[in-house]
Amino acid sequence: MGTSEDHGLGELLAQVVPGSALRDGLERILRARMGALIVLGDGPEVLEICSGGFHIDAGMSPQRLSELAKMDGAIVLDRAGERIAWANVHLVPDPSAPTTETGTRHRTAERVARCVAVQVVAVSEEMGTITLYRGGTRRQLRSTDVLVGRANHLMQTLDRFRLRLDEVSAALTASEIEDLVTVRDVALVLQRAEMVLRVAEEIGELVDELGEHGRLLRLQLAELTLGVRDERRLIVEDYLDTTRGTSADEVLGRLAALPTTELLGVDSIVEALAAGGAEAVDPDGALAPRGLRLLRRVPQLSVDMANSLVAHFGDLHRLVRAPASELAEATGISEEDARLVKDGVARLAESSILDRYS
């Protein structure tokens, strides 16, 4: 699905979220056990495939829309869905345009959406469904109750996944401090982060479809995913084998492309992390962090200073053992500020180890 089609479908979803005038009109049609075919766009390219009908040019309201749906033909609105341009129109799209639909109304809707750059809505009286079309994209709307129920269920799942992510992330931090990191430790955190983001993406689609009804869910979603993307990227950058010529973006792309079934085990994560290598990677093999992830948690340290330290020392344990004077020399800060940085790293180290063994 192309970007323009994504944008078009997103525009249509925004117009039909629960509480909008157009959604109200569509639900009135459903409650009356009627069907409808509605085109959002009244430009010349739409009028070229229209035959017959009545030119109305009146403001759109849910009541007017449901009344006009009593006629057999299609209803043509302006692109914003604010005015009714035509009613009882016969649409004649290119019959050779591909369609996977079987019903006459839905076949016409899909063909119009493929032939003309407009959004099309089909309401099925038999199935009691509302289906959106844009280009080659098709989306069936669900009721508000169904959307909220599904979103709440997934939110509980996301909460558990985030809790587990925080646990394995804390364990990785402790292992980094103790110089005991294995490939499996890193893969577990990346696995959990990817699972959190995938569930969050599904919830995000539901929240978008809910509109204003999903405002509280959107806040919960933002809280549960806070910092996950940044954490995932920092971990990849911390352990990426730069000698293989692979970038962090490539590794993240491989992780995103993994099927969910492969994401359940760590082997595929290990392969993605070691992208570009011909030989097998031992999940229990030792790794040494650069320290980017840990340094970003030190309040006194800016991003540029953290990057300078990592570039200078190249290894977290060299950095931790270095005196304040060497830290000051590497970043250009004063020795007093360097001591604050060392104290901040020490507190993080102590906290992570205490958490591990408490």
The alpha helices in 211-299, defined as continuous H runs, are 215-224, 228-239, 248-257, 260-263, 267-273, 292-295
Domains of the chain: residue spans and CATH:
3-141 (3.40.1700.10), 145-273 (1.20.1260.110), 292-357 (1.10.150)
Q: Which residues contact 219 (CB under 8 A, 6 or more apart)?
A: none
CA angle centred on 342, ends 353 and 314, rounded to 5°: 85
Q: What is the mean pLDDT of the chain?
A: 87
* Model pTM score: 0.76
Cα 240 to Cα 293: distance, rounded to the nearest angstrom = 13
Cα 271 to Cα 51: distance, rounded to the nearest angstrom = 58
pLDDT at 155: 97
What pLDDT digit, counting tens, does each position of 307-355 carry? 888 888 888 888 888 888 888 887 787 888 788 888 887 787 777 666 6
Beta strand residue intervals within 10-53, DSSP E: 36-40, 50-51
pLDDT at 9: 59
Q: Tokens for 327? A: 């830290």
CA 118 → CA 35, 134, 230, distances in Å?
20, 6, 37
* Strands 129-134, 50-51: pairing kind: unpaired
pLDDT at 71: 92
Q: Tokens for 90? A: 């016969």
Q: Assign 281 a pLDDT band (cuts: 50, 70, 90).
A: confident
pLDDT at 1: 36
pLDDT at 310: 85
pLDDT at 354: 63
**Taking residues 40-44, what's their average pLDDT?**
94
What pLDDT digit, counting tens, does each position of 108-122 carry? 999 999 999 999 999
Indicate whether 298 pLDDT > 70.
yes
- Count of alpha carbons within 13 Å of 320, Cβ hemisphere only? 21
CA angle centred on 248, ends 244 and 254, rounded to 5°: 90
Residue 235 buriedness (CB in 10 A; 0-12 / 13-18 / 19+): buried
Q: Assign 6 a pLDDT band (cuts: 50, 70, 90).
A: very low
Q: How close are the terminal C-alpha atoms of the chain, in Å?
A: 49
Quick count: other Cβ atoms within 10 Å of Cβ 59? Answer: 10
Sign (positive or negative) of CA dihedral 251, 256, 262, 265: positive
Task: Label residues 314-337 b or e (16+ Cβ within 10 Å = b).
Answer: eebeebbebebebbbebbebeeeb
Q: Which residues contact 157 (CB under 8 A, 6 or more apart)?
A: 199
Q: Compute CA 81 distance to the chain's CA centroid, rounded to the nearest angstrom.
A: 27
Indicate whether 246 pLDDT > 90.
no
Beta strand residue intervals within the chain, DSSP E: 36-40, 50-51, 54-59, 74-77, 83-91, 119-124, 129-134, 137-140
